[in-house]
Structure 1
Amino acid sequence: MTGHRNDDYDVVVIGGGAAGLNGALMLARMRRSVLVIDSGAPRNAPAEGVHGLFARDGVPPGELLATGRAEVESYGGRVLDGEVVEIARGGTGFVVRLADDRTVRARRLLVTTGLVDELPQIAGLRERWGRDVVHCPYCHGWEVRDRIIGVLGNGAMTVHVAQLFRQLSTDIVYFPRTTPLTVEQAGQLAARGIRVVEGEVESVVVSEDRLTGVRLTDGGVIAVEALAVPPRMTARAGFLVSLGLRPSEHPSGAGEFIAVGPTGRTEIPEVWAAGNVTDPSAQVGAAAAAGAFAGAQINADLVAEEVRVAVEARDLEQFPVSAGPHSQR
C-alpha cells in the first residue's frame, strides 16, 4: 500500500474488479486520495481467461486485477483487502465500516461490487462453473465451439441464449425444465435445428474430469460436452440498505441491479455505482469503461464543491459578516 495513509479519503471505492480499479485509477491520476476496498471474491475467478477484452484477450482474471492494483497504487491510490458491512452518513461524507470493525471516511463513494451468480440446484453444476458449464457466449463460447452444447432453461433469457450459442455449434440441446416454451419459441428453435428435451435435469455427468452429459430425474442421460446456464444475477449491495438504497429487478428479468443515471450517480446524493452491479450484461471492458467514466464524474463533482467553497471563503474575506451593532470594518 502506498500514498494516503490516514482514514479520511476523497473517495472510497467499494469493489476491486475492473470497474472499481479503473475508477480508482482515474481518480488517483487526478491526485485524489482514493481507497479501494476489495473482498477478494471476483465473479470471474473460476474462468481461465478474460475474453473479448481488446489487447488483453485471454489474460487470466487474477493477473488482470493484480496489474490494475499495481497501477492504482503507482499513482498513490490505496487498495485494502476487506469487506464492507455498513455505511452511514457522517459529517460532510460517509463512514464506511468493515467486517473487522475498521472504519474509514469518504467524501464520495463509488460502488463497484458486482454480482453473485445464483445457479439452479443441480448436482455438480457449481463444481464445473467457468470450465465447461458457462453462461455467456461472448465470454466463453469460442472455447466450447463445435461441441454438443446443452442450454438449461432458467428464466426469460434462455431461449435467446440458446440461439446465440447456435452461432458456435450446429449441435445444441435445449432443456426447458420448468420454463415452458411458447409456440413461437418452439418454432424458432426448430427452425435452427435446436433439439428440445423435456424433463427436469437432476445432475451433470462427468467422466475423466470432462462433462459428458446431463442426467434427468427419470434416469435418462443426454449427451452434452458443454452446458450453458444463464444464472439469476443478484447485486452485492446489502451494505447500502443503511443508506436507503436497495437493488431493483432488472428490466431483462436477469436479476437485480442498482439503478443509476447517465453519469453513474445513484439516487443517494454523493454515491455513484458502475460495472455489473448496475449492468448485469457488461463484460470486463464495458465495466472498466463505466468505472473510469464514473471516476471522472466524481472528480468533477468534487471540483464543483471545492470551487463553491473557495468562492464562499473569498467572499467572506472581502465582505466579513458584522460581529455586532458597534463593529466596524
Structure 2
Amino acid sequence: MSRDNNRKYDVLVIGGGAAGLSAAQMLGRSRRSVLVVDSGEPRNAPAQGVHGFLSRDGVSPAELLEIGRAEAGRYGVRTIQGAAVTAAGNIAEGFTVTLADGRVLKGNRLLITTGLVDDLPAIPALRERWGKDVLHCPFCHGWEVQDQAIGILGKGPWSVHQALLFRQWSANITLFLNSLVQPSDEELEQLAARGVRVVAGAVESLRVEDDRLRGIALAGGPEVAVDAVVVGPQVRARLDAFAGLGLTPEPHPMGIGDFLATDADGATAVPGVWAAGNVTDMRAQVLASAAAGSWAAVVINNSLMADEMAADLTAYRESQSVGPGVSGG
C-alpha cells in the first residue's frame, strides 16, 4: 500500500479495460510511469467472445485483458485491483484518487476509462441470459445468431431500427412492441417490406430450458418461440468518483443513457484529465475503445512533454544569465 501512496506517477489510468490498457501500454512505451486501477468489472464480462477485433476475434474478454496487462507490464506499467471512490486536484499540482480500501494515489495526469453500466429491463431471466442469447449489437454478436429466430424487445423508438438492422442476419425477426413502441405508418411499412413480424402486448418473461432461451411469454397471451433476444439497454457512465473534479455525465442525444463529454482528443472540461472508451463513446466496440485509449495516451504524453520543456527552458535560461559583477568570460 505504501508503494502506491508514496509515489507520484506520470499518469493514473482509472479503468483496466481495452481503452485503459491500450493507453497504458502506449504511455509505458513512451517511458512514462503509469498506474492502472482495475475494478474488475468489465462491461463485456458476460460475453463468450470478443468479435471484430483484428487478430483477436473470438478471444474471451478475460483472456484479452490478461494479454493486455502482460503486454503493458513489459513496459513498466503497474496494474492494481481497486475501486476509485473520489478524485481531486488540478493540472498544476497533480491529481489524487482515493480507492475504497483507503489507498490514495497520485499522478500528474488522469485518464478515465471506467466504461459504462448496462441497465436492463426488469424482466425475469433477462439479466441472467445477458451476453449469451440476450444481445444488443449485431456487429458484435449477429454472426453467432444468424438465421435463428430473433426477438427484438421493444423499449422505445430505437427498437424499430434494431429490428430492421438484425434483419440482415436473419429472415426470422419478431419485434415485440412490449406496450412501449408505437411505430409510425412509415415504419410499419418498412417492417412489413422486410418481413419483420410485429407482436403487440407487454412482455412478461423469458422462458429458459436446459440453459437455452426458448421463448418470450406475453402478459395474458401466448408464448412466442425465439432463439435469441435483442434489447437496447439504458447505459450509465461510471463517473461517481469524479464528481469532485466537476465531471458529471451528460444525457446522450439518442436518449439511451449518459456519457462524459470530451473533445476529439479525449480531453475533458478539466485540464489534465482525459477520457477514452465507452465512458465517452457508447458506440465504441472493443477495438475502437483500444484505439481511442492509444490516441489519448499520445496527447497526454505531449502534454507532459510540454511541461518538461517549459521547466527545462526556465532552468536553461537561468543557467545562462550572468549575475552582477560576474564576468561573462
Please tell me the TM-score bracket, short chain as reference. over 0.9
Are 2:5 and 2:105, in contact at CA under 8 Å, matched by a contact in 1?
no
Deviation at 1:328, TM superposition (A): 5.2
Structure 2 counterpart of 1:128, one-letter code? R
- 1:245 and 1:4, CA in 2 relative to 1: closer, same or farther beyond 3 A? closer
Deviations 1:160-185 (A, max 9, x none): 11111100110100012212212222
8 Å CA contact 2:15, 2:112 repeated in 1: yes
Superimposed CA distance per residue, residues 247-275 of structure 1 (whole angstroms, 9 cap, x where no aligned partner): 10112222111111111101110000001
Residue 7 of structure 1 and its aligned partner are, at CA, apart by: 2.6
When normalised by structure 1's length, the TM-score is: 0.94
CA displacement, residues 79-115 of structure 1 (integer Å, 9 cap, x when unaligned): 0100000001166110110000100101001101110
Letter in 2 for 1:283: Q
Letter in 2 for 1:103: V
- Does structure 2 retain, via aligned residues, the 8 Å contact 1:4–1:33? no
What's the secondary structure of 2:278's corresponding residue? helix
Q: Does 1:60 align with 2:60?
A: yes
- In structure 2, the residue matched to 1:104 is 105
Name the SS of the counterpart of 2:107 in structure 1: strand
Q: Which residue of 2 aligns with 1:200?
A: 202
- What displacement does 1:67 show? 0.4
TM-score (norm 2): 0.94
Instruction: State the alpha-carbon separation in 2 of the partners of residues 328 and 95 from structure 1.
Output: 46
Higher mean displacement: 143-152 or 175-184: 175-184
Task: Kindly state the Cα deviation for residue 119 of structure 1 after the two structures are TM-superposed.
Answer: 0.4
Change (3 A) 1:4 1:236: closer
1:245 to 244, 247, 270: 247
Moved more, 80-89 or 244-253: 244-253
- Aligned residue for 1:276, secondary structure, equals coil
Instruction: Determine if contact 2:5/2:103 at 8 Å carries over to the other structure.
Output: no
Cα shift readout 1:30-78 (whole Å, capped 9, x = no counterpart) = 1100000010010111111000111110001100000000011111110
1:272 to 2:255 alignment: no
1:116 maps to 117
- Alignment check: 8 A CA contact 1:155 1:254 kept: no
Cα displacement (A) at 1:228 = 0.4
Determine the structure 1 residue equivalent to 2:40.
Answer: 40
Letter in 2 for 1:79: T
Q: Does the 8 Å CA contact 1:4/1:77 hold for their aligned counterparts? A: no
For 1:176, the equivalent position in structure 2 comes to 177
5+ residue gaps, structure 1: none
Q: Tell me if structure 1 keeps the 8 A contact 2:5–2:104.
A: no
Q: 1:6: Cα distance to partner?
A: 4.8
1:315 to 310, 314, 317: 317
- Counting aligned pairs with the same residue, the percent is 53
Superposition deviation, residue 233 in structure 1 = 1.1
**Distance of 2:290 and 2:234 partners within structure 1:** 22
Moved more, 206-215 or 165-174: 206-215
Report deviation, 1:157.
Answer: 2.1
The 2-side partners of 1:237 and 1:316 are apart by 43
Q: Is the partner of 2:216 in helix, strand or coil?
A: strand
**Residue 30 of structure 2 aligns with which residue?**
30
Task: Assess if the C-alpha contact under 8 Å between 2:157 and 2:183 holds in 1.
Answer: no
1:151 aligns with 2:152: yes
| Cα deviation digits, residues 263-300 of structure 1 (max 9, x gap) | 11011100000011111011100000000000111001
CA contact (8 A) 1:7 1:103 kept: no
1:68-79 alignment, distance < 5 Å: 68-79=68-79
**CA gap 1:328/1:220 in 2 versus in 1, 3 angstroms:** farther
The 3-state SS of whatever aligns with 1:190 is helix
CA distance in 2, matches of 1:294, 1:268: 15
Q: Distance in 2 between matches of 1:237 and 1:155?
A: 25
**What is the aligned partner in structure 1 of residue 225 from structure 2?**
223
What's 1:292 paired with?
294
Counterparts of 1:319 and 1:182 in 2: how far apart (Å)? 76
**Are residue 94 (structure 1) and residue 95 (structure 2) matched?**
yes
Distance 2:280 2:159 in 1: 21
Do the aligned residues in 1 keep the contact of 2:216 with 2:225 (CA within 8 Å)?
yes
Measure, in 2, the Cα distance between the counterparts of 1:113 and 1:301: 22
The number of residue pairs the alignment matches comes to: 322
**Distance (Å, rounded) in 2 between the aligned partners of 1:98 and 1:113:** 14
Whether the aligned pair in 2 keeps the contact of 1:4 and 1:78 (CA below 8 Å) is no
Q: 1:156 offset after TM fit, Å?
A: 3.5
Q: Which ranges in structure 2 are unaligned for 5 or more consecutive residues? A: none
Q: Distance in 1 between matches of 2:160 and 2:268?
A: 32
